[in-house]
């Protein structure tokens, strides 16, 4: 029997506008007999906020759908999947 991976899908997104910036991290993680979608968000100068978008474990397909919608919503708000190069 193989152990479940720590994460199945994950992404890190970044938003930089003027002196303000945010980081958003999301992942699909195994939990009990299913999977949950977790997130962590950090706004420059503020505390890190962590949580779950799925209060109960879901089948992988359903959790992936939640993850994909979450990532799409952040991209639509101006987040990018790579950190811009600051010189």
The continuous run of DSSP H or E covering 76 comes out as helix 60-76
Q: Are 54 and 65 in contact (CB under 8 A)?
A: no
Would 43 be classed as within a structural domain?
yes
Distance CA 75, CA 77 (A): 5
Would 53 be classed as within a structural domain?
yes
Number of domains in the chain: 1
pLDDT digits (tens, 9 = 90+) for 12-67: 999 887 677 899 999 999 998 999 999 999 988 888 999 999 989 999 999 999 99
Would 29 be classed as within a structural domain?
yes
Distance CA 35, CA 54 (A): 9
Would 30 be classed as within a structural domain?
yes
pTM of the predicted model as reported, rounded to 2 decimal places? 0.82
Would 84 be classed as within a structural domain?
no
87 has pLDDT over 50: no
Would 23 be classed as within a structural domain?
yes
Would 37 be classed as within a structural domain?
yes
pLDDT digits (tens, 9 = 90+) for 59-71: 999 999 999 999 9
Q: Are 51 and 39 in contact (CB under 8 A)?
A: yes
Distance CA 29, CA 38 (A): 7
Range of the domain at 27: 9-76
């Amino acid at each position: 029997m193989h152990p479940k991976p720590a994460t199945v899908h994950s992404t890190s997104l970044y938003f930089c506008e003027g002196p303000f910036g945010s980081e958003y991290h999301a992942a699909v993680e195994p939990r009990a007999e299913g999977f949950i979608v977790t997130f962590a968000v950090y706004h420059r100068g503020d505390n890190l906020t962590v949580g779950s978008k799925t209060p109960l474990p879901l089948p992988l397909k359903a959790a992936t759908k939640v993850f994909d919608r979450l990532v799409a919503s952040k991209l639509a708000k101006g987040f990018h999947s790579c950190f811009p190069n600051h010189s």
